[in-house]
Amino acid sequence: MIRKLFLSLLLLVLYGCSNDSFPLIQDEAEGSVTKFSNDTHGTYGSTYVPLSSENTVIRNATVFDGLGNMYENYDIHFSDGKIKALGMNLQVDAKEIDGTGKYVSPGIIDIHSHMGVYPAPGVRTSSDGNEATSPVTAEVWAEHSVWSQDPQYKLALAGGITSFHVLPGSANLFGGRGVTLKNVSANTVTAMKFPDAPHTLKMACGENPKRVYSSRGPSTRMGNVAGYRDAWIGAEKYKKSLERNPSSRNLRNETLVGVLDGEILIQNHCYRADEMATMINISKEFDYKITTFHHAVEAYKIADLLADEGVCAAMWADWWGFKHEAYDMTIANVAIVDQARDGAGCAIVHSDSASGIQRLNQEAAKALAAGNKAGFNISEARAMTWITQNPAKAAGILDQTGTLEAGKNADIVIWDGNPFSVYTKAEQVFIDGALAFDKATQFMPHTDFDLGVKEWEVE
């Protein structure tokens, strides 16, 4: 036992802080919506209520709009939780925030988080991200594991995160449904749920499922693929059976049929280029759409294919080497995906880490710099889309957030400098127009778990 402890200690040393320790296990998750369980307004639907907000205008800032543009000396006006206008010298009567010398961006969105399902402290009693009991667990929903008191949310908020997508882990071929949350303090998960966000389904390629189930199968990549196809065949049968017996319930197949019906978005953990291509073939065999490949360390090898198929790739800037399928790293990965087919690619910088989620802007900066060093000419404004517009698109919430456009949710970050600098901090974060974080006053939510944690004077 002691040796195991030491091994885990070693892994912690190698792979990061004790709570986002081991990407082999933690990465990945999913979710969905079906005719039987399309609950975005139903039993499990969002009960989110925004904090109260003020009619506000930020003046004279450098604005990244999340659409690939940057404007200097710009104003942004928001009220009733919505963005009203962007422009120079807006003629509005509202509470003024001086944005001189500051930068403004859309709220940052992470398409790959396990906050809530792998909360801090990282103890086994709340390690709820992987239902590693069967290779196919499309029936489980990450939201039913989410701990609303996870003290990590506010740390991400201080990094500008306004929404994040929580996925089950990657132990299974089908890990279960994912859920998109607002980064707000609440006592229930439904009160954090992003209204009208589609469910998603986590699938996983490669090493993890075949390792976890090596004794019972699948134990190979070809076994993985047979497992996906078997499950889709079962879903097709189930869908057909509904014509005869519309009231028959089957949780697993309800999720899978939700994908086949286009209601549930596929979020697919997949590192290797050849496996991603195979997954695209499977999606064609069963006529569903893959929204995003996650981790996608080798996405650059098939960047044109991803652009042609309209599949996003969510990537780290520079993680590699912790497993064989993460060996062929290039820090230009994000940029190559972004620039495929003359800029038709959908590149996302994701975290899969409660540490990394706090600095997605820094991760995007590294990816941007490496891309331009590799010969591209990518602007900071374009790189901003990797952590705003594109993850919003991948989560199916781009109609509500992800860019600064009139009519969208006022999810806004004011940075004290250029967000692509290591020295820059988020100064204020607004969610639906309501101030959610203020660095100067240390205004931020504290979960119940945070209470009682004090710094005692040493006597």
Partner 1 sequence: MKYFYLILILSFSYLSLADAENSVLVKGGNVFLPDQGFVKKDFLIEEGKIVSIEDQIDDGVTGKTIYADGKYITPGLVVFSSLGLLEIGALSETNDNSSDIYNAGFDPSKAYNPFSQAVSLNRSKGVTSTVHIPGASGYFSGLLGHTKINNGWKQKKQGPLAVLTSYGQSRGDSRAAELQFMSDLFDFVRNRSEDKANYETDNIQFFFGTQNDYQFTNRDLVAIRKLLSNKLPLVVRVNKATDILNVIKFADTEGIELILWEANEAHMVADEIAKAGVPVVLDPLNNIPGSFDSLNATYENVARLNAAGVKMAFYYNQGAGSHNAYLATQSAGNAVAMGVPYNEALNAITKNPADIFGLVDVGQVSVGFEGDIAIWDADPLELTSFVEKVLIDGVEQDLSNRYEELTDRYTKEKDLPNSYRSRE
Q: Is the sign of the CA dihedral 191, 49, 33, 212 positive or negative?
A: negative
Cα 275 to Cα 271: distance, rounded to the nearest angstrom? 8
Residue 341 in contact with partner 1, rule: CB under 8 A: no
Stretch touching partner 1 by CB under 8 A, among 187-195, 196-204, 286-294, 324-332:
324-332
279 vs 303, which CB is nearer to partner 1?
303
Helix pair angle (360-373, 333-343), 10° resolution: 60
One-letter amino acid at 121 equals P
**One residue of 169, 356, 391, 402 binding partner 1 per CB under 8 A:** 356
Cβ of residue 456: shortest distance to partner 1, in angstroms?
Answer: 7
**One residue of 148, 185, 292, 358 binding partner 1 per CB under 8 A:** 358
Residue 286 in contact with partner 1, rule: CB under 8 A: no
* Interaction pattern, residues 234-273, with partner 1; x per rule: CB under 8 A: ----------------------------------------
**One residue of 102, 301, 350, 408 binding partner 1 per CB under 8 A:** 301
Stretch touching partner 1 by CB under 8 A, among 40-48, 54-62, 96-104, 421-429:
421-429
97 vs 326, which CB is nearer to partner 1?
326
Cα 332 to Cα 372: distance, rounded to the nearest angstrom? 8
Residue 362 in contact with partner 1, rule: CB under 8 A: yes
259 vs 302, which CB is nearer to partner 1?
302
Residue 9 in contact with partner 1, rule: CB under 8 A: yes
Cβ of residue 215: shortest distance to partner 1, in angstroms?
Answer: 18
Stretch touching partner 1 by CB under 8 A, among 7-15, 194-202, 254-262, 387-395:
7-15
5 vs 244, which CB is nearer to partner 1?
5
Residue 319 in contact with partner 1, rule: CB under 8 A: yes
* Interaction pattern, residues 148-177, with partner 1; x per rule: CB under 8 A: ---xx--x----------------------
**One residue of 122, 217, 234, 445 binding partner 1 per CB under 8 A:** 122
Residue 455 in contact with partner 1, rule: CB under 8 A: yes
278 vs 424, which CB is nearer to partner 1?
424
